[in-house]
Amino acid sequence: MVFGDGDGSTFLSFTRAIDVVAHEMTHGVTEYINNLKYERQSGALNEHFSDVIGSAIKQHVNGQNANNADWLIGDKIVGPEWDGIALRSMKEPGTAFADDPQPDHMRDYRELPVTREGDYGGVHIYSGIPNKAFHLVSMEIGTDNAAVIWYNAWNDREHLHPNSQFKDAFEAILKAAQTLSSQGRMPQNTVEAVKRAFSEVGIYSLVGV
C-alpha cells in the first residue's frame, strides 16, 4: 500500500490518520469478501464499510464512544488550505467542507456518471446515506456493538455481492442484528434501532420486516 505525503497545504501526510489507514486497508478486505463493484450504490457501500471500520477503530484507539466521538473521517490529514474540517462527517453528511455534496437521505440520491469526474457514480458522495444510519445505530447501542453487527453483515454473501444496493445491505445488517440479538449478544432494542436508523435515511427493507 502507498500513502501520500500530501502537499502540506491541502493535505498533510495520509498516515497521520488512523481512520484513513484503516479505511484503505478495509477496501482490501471488502475486495476479498464480496468485491462490491466500485460504482454507484455498490461502490458507495464499498466506501461505507471502509468508513465504518475506520471510524470504529479511530474511536477505539482514542478511547472514545458514540457520544463523545467527532465522527469525522480524515480530519487529521486536511491541511490549512482545505476549506473545511475533514473529508466526511458520518454524523452530519454534507458538513465536512464547503460545498460538501454528501446527502443524508435517499430523497437526495441522483444517478451520476460512472466516471472519475462523476465520482464513479457517487461512491464517496452517497456513502453518506448508510454512514448516517451507522451513526444513528451507534448512538442507540454503542459503536462497538454496531461495528460487530456491520462486520457480521459484511460476511453475508447472500445479500452482499458485487452488485448489491443499499437495500441489500440493510437486509444483511438487519439479519445480523436479529441473529446476534437472539443469541443475547446485543441490547434488546437493537433490531428496532437498526430498522429506525435505516428508515430515517430512506432505506427500507425488501421484505417488509
Single out the residue of 82, 172, 155, 88 nearest to residue 125, CA to CA. Answer: 88
Catalytic residue among 39, 47, 48, 124: 124
In this prediction, residues 81-103 reach a mean pLDDT of: 98
Q: Where are the domains of the chain?
A: 14-200
Residue 124 designated active-site = yes
Alpha carbons 39 and 17: distance in angstroms, whole number: 25
CATH architecture of 14-200: Orthogonal Bundle (1.10)
Gyration radius from the chain CA atoms = 16
Catalytic residue among 24, 60, 92, 140: 24
Q: What pTM value is reported for the model?
A: 0.96
What is the percent of the chain with per-residue pLDDT over 90, rounded to a whole number? 96
Alpha helix stretches (DSSP H) within 77-187 = 119-122, 128-141, 143-154, 166-182
Residue 60 designated active-site = no
* pLDDT of the residue at 209: 38
Q: Would you say 195 and 133 are in contact if contact means Cβ atoms under 8 Å apart? A: no
* pLDDT of the residue at 207: 44
Q: What residue type is assigned to position 152 of the chain?
A: N
In this prediction, residues 57-68 reach a mean pLDDT of: 98
Q: Which residue in this structure is represented by grid cell 468485491?
A: 35
* pLDDT of the residue at 51: 98
pLDDT digits 0-9 by tens, 135-186: 999 999 999 999 999 999 999 999 999 999 999 999 999 999 999 999 999 9
What is the percent of the chain with per-residue pLDDT over 70, rounded to a whole number? 98
Alpha carbons 85 and 152: distance in angstroms, whole number: 31
